[in-house]
Structure 1
Amino acid sequence: MTKLNSRGRGGFLWPGLNIPVIKGGTIQSFSKRGEAEQQELRVELERQREEWDRKRKMKIKRERGWSGNCWGGISLGHPDPGPNGETYEDFDCRVIE
């Protein structure tokens, strides 16, 4: 059976558009969904949209890994301490092509 898109802000049920025309051998007529059922569908739709956004979120270049041809601009962090114990905490090493 196909997935029916019976969601909407108003909660209207249109036979042939977002609900089946015939259900249980009877022809359905135009109706409106109850407030509790409509609120439940809104919560489910919001949860589904948040899930899709998390999946769709594009990773920045550094998180994608070293799979491309161009490594330029990727930060390597601060350099190792020098031989005399100097630290370079405020310095940032970057790959230059």
Structure 2
Amino acid sequence: MSGFGENIFVTGSNRGIGLAIVENLLKNQEVKRIFAACRDPSSAQDLRKLWTQHDEKVYIIQLDVQDDTSINLAYEQIVRVLDGEPLNVLINNAGIAER
């Protein structure tokens, strides 16, 4: 993953492919920050465990990709943390299931 980017945003990161992406990004020394987004962080036990082990690198972001307010709040939180640095990569892994 050389040259992949320092600041990476992963949606749908609470389980499955998204969680595996976060786990693999943590192994890359070039990655400075991982913004790991999911709809309900309080129920994302595995993601929260990664955060406790790597709190300087993992930022859990509450995000519902179907809710404009949630999207705006997530954006504001990321911009605040980046403090002028660029977001290098977006991995849009969130899924939407119709019920």
Q: Same fold (TM over 0.5)?
A: no
Give the strand-richer structure, 1 or 2.
Answer: 2
Give the helix-richer structure, 1 or 2.
Answer: 2
Q: Which has the higher contact order (CA 8 A, sep 6+)?
A: 2
- Which TM-score applies when normalising by structure 2? 0.21
State the structure with more CA Rg: 1
- Which TM-score applies when normalising by structure 1? 0.22
